[in-house]
Structure 1
């Protein structure tokens, strides 16, 4: 009997040891067809972005268009089939490459394009009734196409843009100008991510380097040369002082790596995911400490729990679907259905069907009361700093809000267009528009913007002609 018990214990020790977690049974629930968005001509552009942005009021999707770039803005309650002639935002002269909603003003969205511009749009209440061609602000500072835009997480009206000229520009939209330039990259920037208070910026680049940058000075604090593998995407893991990257190993397998933001000499862990070729998009929920991995062209979404001790990353489960995803939009936390114990919501772009599917990640709970353990205080809709405060060196954590019904507050901020001035675009002592090489047809589409055109009160187009005119004055 003793011998048999010893044999049993020794063989049981080989079984995997599962961690106890309240999120082990999280499952994905796809919305019914009538609650999806159908008939949308989703862009066929191969740029590695999501082409989708969502907030509590609107869903924005980059669309296929001829002779320029455009995107749809649809009120969330306007589900079902979208008519072919539905109004679009269509002011860009080149393909739209990225769109992001302002986190503090829900009807303001930023877009960037192959026409080398960044534009700020103000969507009217109730959505568009006709095509919108005039932006509130047209911002020209990059000499080549602009591939990424990101809003600062705690400061209102601070926008970051990354171009194919290898530069990151920081725009103060209160004055409508770039105020800082980060010029430490030697190739195209692939991804940008902020830490919790926005004092640090992490970037991945085609030069196979991962960088942690102090954005106001442009100083590189940490840098990792990933010679044996390629990093594509990076995300800060909340307040843990850790970063997670997705990329490709030397054996061409998809992998993730965990890094200490204060020491990028070696990753804390590296883990291979699979042998597929699609880009892995990481999404991190700091409230639940859950990491979601979604592959471009895959139909599945894996999710993990991030811990403070080894093995740091623990696999939970996988949502599976036969329909491949081109990109994914994510609903802000204050837009989730807490009565259904929803902890995350994706908006999945299915190109072949022209379909946008909402996918809710739900924690199964029997009780219908508010679950405080899965809904801690979360960053809200109020900015913690003004642009001048942040640019002067101040840092402040996000202003938190409760997701409990009756305690939610909506921001009352409105976008104010800056006063009209004529200035040369000079950042860090460099005139960004001096000796700008002409943009090619591939970068701007069939028509180039007219240089130095005034676009009405608060709207203007920064160009070489404007800079020369300002110098003459």
Structure 2
């Protein structure tokens, strides 16, 4: 009986990690030397983005995934920031949209051309200004379109609607010290943070309330991380008082004691956890380590089960993780990491060895797809929704159609629509959808359609005028109040 307990059955026991061949690496990349504990790398099924050294500003490379080999020094970068870039994150609902946070205190959102950059990109779709110190954390909402969270060294968390460039929520009283990381829960109703004051907090952003917190989640002074798991539990990494690196699992309903606590070793690099909700496996990568350890999280004690360690020679400067829909299911690939060296990026493939060529249902349950479950406005109004799941069975034949569907729903068109409803803005974008006839129309139908569009246009113009008058009245009122007349 005791023997069976030691050798726990798991299909992930034999996960096999392997670096790709040299010609499939990205060579000659000058990875950023900024001392900041972000991953420095973000990847999706289309592009790899890496924060790089840049003279006189901040830049990151965006490479189509197939652009492997030596990267020319003159390869164009995304370079609109005036200070070093500290964090980047791809939009989960559009593979051509990426957000960046920088030492210049701004957040920028970029639209990457479908086939990658052919010239330097200096103009973001939108610049979000609200932080007073450098912005080190950027993370998109998992299910609501255009909702982006940023956290800065001003200890403030801001939540934005990227489509309208407005600040939705400002959380500036919860954290008395530097925020190490922020992680949304599965439906984006809450997020958790790890802070320099050694507390892990669970926060409801729309109410601005603290749902739960734990003091001294890890007693050591070095940086911690906290991430939400799919079932609502919180997984943390940190250091003990004796500087041993630790992992812990917490139940938000009772943060008095961890459900599980494991000590790893006494290295000093911060541990970056990557979580796969489909397999309940957490991969832990230490900055400056040359290994990736992985653990399965289960419902029965001891809850955190060590699976294996992938080890290589070179230490990692940063790490990116491919979303599930970007993996090769035909090769039983369950994770792919992009490991940053000093001058290159090396993909590491994690596979479960299987003899069969058939689709492995047990390895690939339906996973989060690229479609947003909610619009930003719906989320703000209090709605929540889990990710919209897709089957990876048809990943054998990546359909072009799905790609088009994703890229049409982009921040650019959303922000144009948003701007078209602002006073004085052009109304053409708002009527484009109606102006496209479906199939051939007769002359009378065409005239009717035209009249309908003109009516809508007039209604929009009237609405804009009305809103403009209202804004003028409010500004007048505000002016009177400021002058003490009201």
Alignment pair present for 1:345 and 2:336? yes
> Secondary structure of 1:34's match?
helix
Distance 2:63 2:479 in 1: 45
In structure 1, what is the Cα distance between the partners aligned to 2:151 and 2:376? 19
Partner residue of 1:234? 226
Scaled by the length of structure 2, the TM-score of the pair is 0.82
Q: Distance in 1 between matches of 2:478 and 2:152?
A: 26
Q: Distance in 2 between matches of 1:306 and 1:324?
A: 26
| Larger deviation, residues 289-298 vs 230-239 | 230-239
Summarize the alignment of residues 407-422 of structure 1 with structure 2, pairs less than 5 Å apart.
Answer: 409-410=402-403, 411=406, 412-415=408-411, 416=413, 417=415, 418-419=418-419
1:285 to 253, 266, 276: 276
Distance in 1 between residues matched to 2:181 and 2:370, nearest whole Å: 24
For 1:215 and 1:44, the matched residues in 2 are separated by 33
Alignment of 1:165-176 (within 5 A): 165-176=154-165
CA separation in 2, counterparts of 1:173 and 1:355?
A: 32
Are residues 1:296 and 2:292 paired? no
Of 250, 258, 261, the residue aligned with 1:267 is: 258
Q: Structure 1 residue 155: deviation in Å? A: 0.4
Tell whether 2:75 aligns with 1:83. no
Tell me how far 1:471 sits from its aligned partner. 7.4
Q: Which has the higher contact order (CA 8 A, sep 6+)?
A: 1
Aligned to 1:426: none
Question: Could you tell me which residue of structure 1 aligns to residue 209 of structure 2?
Answer: 219
- Per-residue CA deviations over 1:178-216 (Å, capped at 9, x if unaligned) read 111112111111101111111110001111110000111
Residue 274 of structure 1 aligns to a residue in which SS?
coil
Cα deviation, residue 105, structure 1 = 1.0
Shift of 1:407: 8.0
Match of 1:333 in 2: 324
The counterpart of 1:200, out of the listed 178, 190, 196, is 190
Larger radius of gyration: 2
**How far apart are the structure 1 equivalents of 2:94 and 2:260?**
38
Q: Secondary structure at the match of 1:223?
A: strand
**Cα offset for 1:152?**
0.1
Q: What's the offset of the Cα at 1:177?
A: 1.0
> Which residues in structure 2 correspond to 1:315-464 (within 5 Å)?
315-351=306-342, 354-405=343-394, 406=397, 409-410=402-403, 411=406, 412-415=408-411, 416=413, 417=415, 418-419=418-419
Indicate whether 1:56 and 2:48 are aligned.
no
Partners of 1:148 and 1:339 lie apart in 2 by 35
Equivalent runs, 1:13-24 vs 2, <5 Å:
17-24=6-13
Tell me how far apart the structure 2 counterparts of residues 407 and 119 of structure 1 sit (CA, whole Å): 30
Take 1:103 and 1:94, find their aligned partners in 2: how far apart are those partners?
A: 26
- Structure 2 runs not aligned, ≥5 long: 424-474, 481-486
Report the count of equivalent residues: 414
Tell me the secondary structure at the aligned position of residue 242 of structure 2: coil
Deviations 1:81-134 (A, max 9, x none): 000111011110101000001111111110010000000111112111111111
Q: What whole-Å deviation, never above 9, does each CA across 1:366-404 have from its counterpart, x for those lacking one? A: 001100011001111100000010000001111000001
Q: Which residue of 1 aligns with 2:28?
A: 39
Q: Does 1:158 align with 2:147?
A: yes
TM (norm. structure 1) is 0.84
